[in-house]
Amino acid sequence: MHYIPLGDTALRVSRLCLGCMTFGEPDRGRHAWTLPQESSRPLYPARH
């Protein structure tokens, strides 16, 4: 897996993480801006 720097931090994250971290359940956790599974399916039509 290819890792890249996260901004100006010393952290390195995978591109997959950066691309999918906005998907999840808005009512679970601290991120109200996440996109639920059903709403995200049109963005990845070949993956479901």
SS3 43: helix
| Predicted pLDDT of residue 18 | 56
Q: Are 25 and 19 in contact (CB under 8 A)?
A: no
Q: Are 28 and 37 in contact (CB under 8 A)?
A: no
- Cα separation of 44 and 34, whole Å? 16
The domains of the chain are located at 24-48
Q: What is the pTM of this model?
A: 0.37
pLDDT tens-digit profile of 3-47?
A: 888 888 898 887 766 556 667 777 777 777 787 878 877 766 664
